[in-house]
Chains A and B, each alone.
Chain A
Amino acid sequence: MQHFILKRLMSALVGVLGVISLVFFLIHMIPGDPVDVMLGETALAADREALRQGLGLHLPLHEQWWNYLSSLAQADLGHSIFSGRPIVELLLERIPATLHLSLTALGVAILIGVPLGLLAATRQHSIYDYGSMGFALFGMSIPNFWMGPLLILIGALWLEWFPVSGREGWNAVILPALTLGTAMAAILARMVRSSLLEILDEDFLRTAHAKGLSPFQAILTHAFPNALLPVLTLVGLQLGGLLGGAVITETVFAWPGLGLLMIEAIQQRDYQVVQAAVLCISITYIFVNLFTDLLYAWLDPRIDWQDPS
């Protein structure tokens, strides 16, 4: 297992290096100058040049890239060009909000998606099946930028149960989590249904029924755990995406997470913050995928540690 983790971490390192290098060169290529952002257009040419030198922006791009990698190797993410605050501080401020939203959305997705998938699979071609899959289609079709304001209108303005946006109060997370969670629940419900349908005709389930288990018990204790493997992969991928910052949902709900930070930094041409946020997101993706693989191998004894995928 240690060998496997080490191997994955090494390949992840190459992946992270590729991602941050690509982002570094792309962000430097798009129009817009951070020195203009910081000093405005009326600053003295000498001051602009001094700042450019201070930030190392006068150097050739490949040198800037090398300097950036060297700083990263020393765990120095630098300071925000725009606000002057240490980037680590900014990330530490935003990561809890993203974790809060992502895990709650995942909880919502599982609480809605798994029971719906179970219901649809066990009552195939019934009204429950059509209803559940109708919901899944509905959930997948509605974009978050529309779902968010709709939920605000119903939950915050008509019912007055939740705040419109922000992260204040215990219930502030419900609407953004529902917005994110329903789309994910829809995909999850379809996956649970199809995985279960593949298993329902298996011999071991017939045996479970033959030894006297109720249909509910047989499904919950025998069929469902076996149908979980593909679902787990899906959940892992979705969680990775969520932890990377749900940009649209965070914008609609003014949720102070990583996605919003990255969008603001791109708009302000705050190179350092964009790079740090992307680094953070790519590392999160890699660790979530690694964790999913390990969980996968742990849940299924047939899977070899040498190659769990």
Chain B
Amino acid sequence: MTIVWLFILFISISLGCTESPPESTIRIGLSIAPTNLDPRMATDAPSARVNRLLYSTLVDFAENATPLPALARWEAVTPTQYRFHLLEPRPTFPNGDRITAKDVQETYRSVQDPKTASPHRGIYQNIQHIEVLSESTLDFFLLHPDSLFPSYLVIGILPANLIKIAHPFHEDPVGSGPFTFHQRPDDTRLILKRRKDAQLVEFIRVSDPTVRSLKLLAGEIHLLQNDLPPELVAYLAESPSISLQHKQGSKFTYLGFNHLDPVVGQNLIRKAIAHAINREQIIRFVLGGRARPAHALFPPNHWLGSSQLEGYAYDPPQAKALLDQAGFSGNRSPVLIYKTSTDSFRLRLATILQEQLQQVGITVSIHSHDWGTFYGDIKAGHFQMYSLSWVGLKTPDIFRQAFHSHSVPPQGVNRGQYTDPVTDDLIEQAEGASQNQTQQQIYASLQQRLLETLPYIPLWYEDNVALATTAIRGYTLRTDGNFDGLVDVQWTQSPSTQPQLTKETRSGL
């Protein structure tokens, strides 16, 4: 009898599943779900990427990361006054109201308001006040001159009337972007509707990369972008129903050091490590060739990037000689603790680096922790050597944040407590330069200085990779890994007869 009752219960419960959206919904697999759909509050990359689809911003970036007019064009009236003119036709909010200068003013005013508790408030401290001149013109008045100011205006614009009534944008976003919020069945799924043709696009969080790949193979999701181990990318690319596109990316991976440490605090040791790492081999055999060696924070195709920088060649004898100079010769070898996360791919990289450093006589002990513990340790300065990546770097304010001696946490992200008066001076000079060309020259000198003093050892820039089933076409990858390609991607009813991803984007490089 018990079995019968349980069986009935089993059947009844089995019917209690969640609803599926229409079959023509384009589905994208994510490793981490977007958590906050209020652009004033979001700090994580998935939220920022989805918010770009929901909201319009004043300024956007070209492929080389120079700021471009998006909602508005601008002019510097004085070094501390920027005038923005909203471009026509102005986009509309879902209720049909066009974006006005008042909406822009209220959005930035609310970010500056301590009551909003926006994590981005610090970026806009330099704004003294914002003045609306007409429905489509407004002025930003700054406390200090900043020639890079327009490139910071990337917060999605919210409707002023809803800001005033403290609308919960984080769960009911209202923007003027190419998509509108449609539904959030649970916090692992988010469905958006494209405004131009009502096409539904669903983001599904599947944390396990193998399961994400299997879902793509089964056609349950139609697009995967990044966050996959290279071997899975290679495996999926072999499937005739899946197209692969890859494009040079700006995700910068580096080795970080604690500069207060008696061993890795020595420049000679860091240089020895730089010469001991065979980047080319790792890129070729471990990353599947989908990365470029890095010599600086910004890749050469960035407006501040430089192809003139010469990195540290793989040279084990030179590494040994440098260790000798540092006093590590004979039986005396440096023993380093390398911290990393428990991610299997990052662990594999760690073991390869361990092996390569062992070849020149540096013993490395790998300590892997769950992400929260690992990242907490890095931010607290509890490390000797670690590896991390910077994602989405566009503006040169990162130099101050990461390398200025005043940016030691909690004032910034100089986690290794690197101090170099020359670097500080170059950062300050560059920030104060009014001419773009002068600024570029100073930043080039700064990057050369960083390469010599090695606060980080630059490793590589990872390519962006997108894998799509033939159920969709027209998706294009961006250098920054954003989902802007979803604005034009098409659902195709008969996948087998449709062309796959466009040739330009397939070649990518």
Which listed residue (B6, B375, B401) contacts A110, Cβ 8 A?
B6
Whether the Cβ atoms of B372 and A266 lie closer than 8 Å is: yes
Which listed residue (A31, A97, A160) contacts B218, Cβ 8 A?
A160
**A252-B208 contact given A165-B215, A168-B18, CB 8 Å threshold:** yes
Provide the bound-state CA to CA distance between A253 and B18, in Å.
15
For B29, give the chain A residue with the smallest CB separation: A254
Q: List 8 A-B pairs, minimum CB-CB distance, nearest first.
A: A107-B10, A31-B376, A32-B376, A39-B119, A40-B43, A32-B372, A44-B122, A168-B20
Chain B residues, CB < 8 A from A149: 210-211, 214
**A153-B412 contact given A39-B119, A167-B18, A170-B17, CB 8 Å threshold:** no
CB distance from B23 to the nearest CB of A (A): 12
A4-12, A47-55, A68-76: which lies at the interface: A47-55
Whether the Cβ atoms of A173 and B17 lie closer than 8 Å is: yes
CB distance from B239 to the nearest CB of A (A): 11
Provide the bound-state CA to CA distance between A172 and B13, in Å.
12
10 inter-chain pairs at a CB distance below 8 angstroms, sorted by A residue, are: A33-B376, A42-B122, A43-B121, A83-B35, A83-B36, A114-B3, A167-B186, A252-B208, A254-B206, A268-B372
Which listed residue (A85, A156, A170) contacts B14, Cβ 8 A?
A170
Q: Is A41 an interface residue (CB 8 A)?
A: yes
A98-106, A133-141, A196-204, A283-291: which lies at the interface: A98-106
Chain B residues, CB < 8 A from A54: 117
CB distance from A186 to the nearest CB of B (A): 18
**A100-B119 contact given A149-B210, A153-B214, CB 8 Å threshold:** no
Q: Is A84 an interface residue (CB 8 A)?
A: yes
Chain B residues, CB < 8 A from A90: 187
CB distance from B352 to the nearest CB of A (A): 25
Indicate the member of A107, A166, A168, A173 with the most B CB atoms within 10 Å.
A166
Provide the bound-state CA to CA distance between A164 and B208, in Å.
12
Chain B residues, CB < 8 A from A165: 206, 211, 214-215, 220
Whether the Cβ atoms of A82 and B35 lie closer than 8 Å is: yes
Provide the bound-state CA to CA distance between A293 and B256, in Å.
57
**A251-B36 contact given A41-B379, A163-B220, CB 8 Å threshold:** no
Whether the Cβ atoms of B117 and A47 lie closer than 8 Å is: yes
Main secondary structure of the interface of A (DSSP, over half): helix
Chain B residues, CB < 8 A from A83: 35-36, 170, 187
Provide the bound-state CA to CA distance between A172 and B15, in Å.
10
Q: Using an 8 Å CB-CB cutoff, how does the interface string of A170-206 with B read, 1 for contact, 0 for none?
A: 1111100000000000000000000000000000000
Q: Using an 8 Å CB-CB cutoff, how does the interface string of B1-33 with A read, 1 for contact, 0 for none?
A: 011001101100111111110000000000000
Whether the Cβ atoms of B122 and A104 lie closer than 8 Å is: no
Q: Is B370 an interface residue (CB 8 A)?
A: yes
**A110-B3 contact given A42-B413, A256-B187, CB 8 Å threshold:** yes
Q: Is A30 an interface residue (CB 8 A)?
A: yes
Q: Is A36 an interface residue (CB 8 A)?
A: yes
Q: Is A212 an interface residue (CB 8 A)?
A: no
CB distance from B443 to the nearest CB of A (A): 20
Q: Is A63 an interface residue (CB 8 A)?
A: no
Indicate the member of B2, B119, B207, B380 with the most A CB atoms within 10 Å.
B119
Whether the Cβ atoms of B208 and A30 lie closer than 8 Å is: no
Q: Using an 8 Å CB-CB cutoff, how does the interface string of A81-99 with B read, 1 for contact, 0 for none?
A: 0111100001001101101
Whether the Cβ atoms of A166 and B204 lie closer than 8 Å is: yes
Chain A residues, CB < 8 A from B379: 33, 36, 41
Q: Is A2 an interface residue (CB 8 A)?
A: no
Q: Is B377 an interface residue (CB 8 A)?
A: yes
Chain A residues, CB < 8 A from B376: 30-33, 36, 269
Whether the Cβ atoms of A111 and B3 lie closer than 8 Å is: yes
Chain B residues, CB < 8 A from A31: 372-373, 376-377, 380, 382
Q: Using an 8 Å CB-CB cutoff, how does the interface string of A117-157 with B read, 1 for contact, 0 for none?
A: 00000000000000000000000000000000100110011
Q: Is B188 an interface residue (CB 8 A)?
A: yes
- Chain A contacts with B in 23-38, Cβ cutoff 8 A: 30-33, 36, 38
Whether the Cβ atoms of B208 and A157 lie closer than 8 Å is: no
How many pairs of A and B residues are in contact by the CB < 8 Å rule? 168
Q: Is A267 an interface residue (CB 8 A)?
A: yes
Q: Is B345 an interface residue (CB 8 A)?
A: no
Q: Is B171 an interface residue (CB 8 A)?
A: yes
Q: Is A210 an interface residue (CB 8 A)?
A: no
**A45-B372 contact given A31-B380, A153-B214, CB 8 Å threshold:** no
Q: Is A169 an interface residue (CB 8 A)?
A: yes
Provide the bound-state CA to CA distance between A85 and B409, in Å.
29
Provide the bound-state CA to CA distance between A275 and B157, in Å.
36
Whether the Cβ atoms of B117 and A163 lie closer than 8 Å is: no
Whether the Cβ atoms of B211 and A152 lie closer than 8 Å is: yes
Provide the bound-state CA to CA distance between A34 and B25, in Å.
35
For A231, give the chain B residue with the smallest CB separation: B2
Provide the bound-state CA to CA distance between A109 and B278, in Å.
52
CB distance from B400 to the nearest CB of A (A): 10
Q: Is B123 an interface residue (CB 8 A)?
A: yes
Whether the Cβ atoms of A104 and B43 lie closer than 8 Å is: no
CB distance from B341 to the nearest CB of A (A): 10
Chain B residues, CB < 8 A from A266: 370, 372
Chain A residues, CB < 8 A from B380: 31
Whether the Cβ atoms of B16 and A164 lie closer than 8 Å is: no
Whether the Cβ atoms of B123 and A99 lie closer than 8 Å is: no
**A100-B204 contact given A32-B376, A83-B36, A110-B6, CB 8 Å threshold:** no
CB distance from A219 to the nearest CB of B (A): 14
Chain A residues, CB < 8 A from B211: 149, 152, 164-165, 252-254
Whether the Cβ atoms of B372 and A30 lie closer than 8 Å is: yes
**A39-B214 contact given A83-B170, A93-B187, CB 8 Å threshold:** no
Chain B residues, CB < 8 A from A110: 2-3, 6
For A101, give the chain B residue with the smallest CB separation: B13
Whether the Cβ atoms of A254 and B214 lie closer than 8 Å is: no
- Chain B contacts with A in 388-418, Cβ cutoff 8 A: 401, 409-413
Provide the bound-state CA to CA distance between A108 and B371, in Å.
35
Whether the Cβ atoms of B218 and A267 lie closer than 8 Å is: no
Which listed residue (B9, B217, B401, B409) contacts A157, Cβ 8 A?
B217
Q: Using an 8 Å CB-CB cutoff, how does the interface string of B265-290 with A read, 1 for contact, 0 for none?
A: 00000000000000000000000000
CB distance from B402 to the nearest CB of A (A): 10
Provide the bound-state CA to CA distance between A252 and B122, in Å.
39
For B188, give the chain A residue with the smallest CB separation: A256
**A104-B14 contact given A48-B410, A157-B217, CB 8 Å threshold:** yes
Q: Using an 8 Å CB-CB cutoff, how does the interface string of B103-121 with A read, 1 for contact, 0 for none?
A: 0000000000010011101
- Chain B contacts with A in 218-240, Cβ cutoff 8 A: 218, 220
For B375, give the chain A residue with the smallest CB separation: A32
Q: Is B125 an interface residue (CB 8 A)?
A: yes
Provide the bound-state CA to CA distance between A186 and B371, in Å.
35
Whether the Cβ atoms of A103 and B372 lie closer than 8 Å is: no
Provide the bound-state CA to CA distance between A27 and B19, in Å.
35
CB distance from B477 to the nearest CB of A (A): 24
